[in-house]
Structure 1
């Protein structure tokens, strides 16, 4: 791990869910480089252990399903016992699926809602008492999908719109008690999830037709650097790509555009490809999605710490 260049998080304990890979793993390393102690939560013990070892003594890891209230409550208790406090919680764990709603796998569709929305709520429920004691900060990772709807992404857009609204509500409830709540927004960023979605020809083709700058994939590290800086500031809004800030001013117009002529034209263009792919099983995308399915089949529980 690189040497510390910013000690602005010295002494603070940060919990990151979905910390085994992608945004969560790199964010944990970035926050550790700023002086934080990390509690890593996820479903992949081998990957979590690697991230923790890359950080060193100031990191521990817990295997838990964020949708499991009992498991997350146990993690919250163990983190507080081990590190003495919790100052920041980043609700980052997420999965995705795509494709036409009527052809979607109901279990995969529901799992996206469960992990992304209910898992974030469970995370907040478990750790908010500790944040109230420390007058801390909760960052909910949302998405461009919370700002604009998109065909073939109903589950993901619904879940991210939901967590954005949840975070805004929670900010109003706990702000007077000293707890700050932020929402982080990311466009298409180079992670296993996005690469997994791009393996679907229809989804990749539809994304390529989106207006610039929403049609490109952005590098991971600059986006995570911006999120880390937002955590230090305890910002109410954090944008992994700078242009996303401007989306806030036009988001009210986007549903009628996407659901109107633009979206319908794009769907007509991909209809032949959808017909050819009829019957294709579309489960959770990427290696993180595969890990979620594996953990559920094995019955994930609160696991070892390192």
Structure 2
């Protein structure tokens, strides 16, 4: 049984989807959880912040440590995705994607590290299988998630001697509210579900709770020798070679 009693955790983008499932899983294990994102989190204490604002990371960590008096766990989950090829994308969209998905996590980690060094805490970044491969029309998203994976390894190498671990999870297709709404907007949602199930060896897509279960283990003492790793959770999708 994973025990996070007494741990203080900050989860960005924690009011919905994977972030909400992670926040709930950490709470169930005994942690005190604070989320940070745009809008209201009706399930738990939160900080309202816009991670496209370069000043937001320092402000979030300052407020979180003021409320907690410490920080043990940082989960960088918040992210954005825009559709369009590189030819279709303007510089502003590129910059916002990199800011929210890569620069903000880096600056949150930078601001949190003195507190995490003190508590011998950990960082968990939520990347994507699109940091390993690419779906069409996602160049900025893929670049940001690939960068986040690389950042994960760099932080683990630099700050392992300080007692801080850093790992990442690379989820595949997960049944978040956003993805469910996308499927329901299609002409034949049932057929799409069958089609997307076929590209996964397990025959289905994943749930936020399955990602959260891995997250809870990675931030616990049970994973104390695990750092600098990118954990793919995709139902085997990236291992399956497509037929012609």
How far is 1:105 from its partner? 5.3
Quick one: which of 154, 173, 179 aligns to 1:169? Answer: 154
Q: CA deviation at 1:183?
A: 1.0
> Following TM superposition, by how much is the alpha carbon of 1:71 offset from its aligned partner in structure 2, in angstroms?
3.0
Residues 184-263 of structure 1: pairs in structure 2 closer than 5 A: 184-195=169-180, 198=183, 199=185, 212-213=199-200, 217-232=205-220, 233=223, 235-236=226-227, 237=229, 238-241=231-234, 243=236, 247=239
Higher helix fraction: Structure 1 or Structure 2? 1
Cα deviation code 1:240-272 (max 9, x no counterpart): 34637x75xx9xxx9xx9xxxx9xx9xxxxxxx
Aligned-residue offset at 1:37: 0.6
2:64 to 71, 79, 87: 79
Q: Which of 63, 71, 96 is equivalent to 2:48?
A: 63
**TM-score of the superposition, structure 1-length normalised?**
0.67
Deviation at 1:106, TM superposition (A): 4.7
Counterpart for residue 110 of structure 1 = 95
Matched residue count = 233
Runs (5+) with no aligned partner, structure 2: none
Question: Is contact 1:223-1:241 (8 Å) kept?
Answer: no
TM-score (norm 2): 0.82
Alignment RMSD (CA, Å): 3.0
C-alpha distance in structure 2 between counterparts of 1:24 and 1:139, whole Å: 12
Distance 2:196 2:23 in 1: 34
Secondary structure of 1:139's counterpart equals: strand
Greater CA radius of gyration, 1 or 2?
Answer: 1
Between the aligned partners of 1:243 and 1:71, the Cα distance in structure 2 is 36
Deviations 1:4-43 (A, max 9, x none): xx46100000110011211111110110010001121110
Task: State the 4+ residue runs in structure 1 displaced beyond 6 angstroms.
Answer: none
Secondary structure, aligned partner of 2:55: helix
Are the counterparts in 2 of residues 69 and 126 from structure 1 also a CA contact under 8 Å? no
Residue 101 and residue 200 in structure 1: after superposition, are their counterparts in 2 closer, same or farther (change >3 A)? Answer: farther
Residues 2 and 217 in structure 2, CA contact (< 8 A), matched pair in contact too:
no
Q: Deviations over 1:152-173 (max 9, x none)?
A: 1111111100100111111111
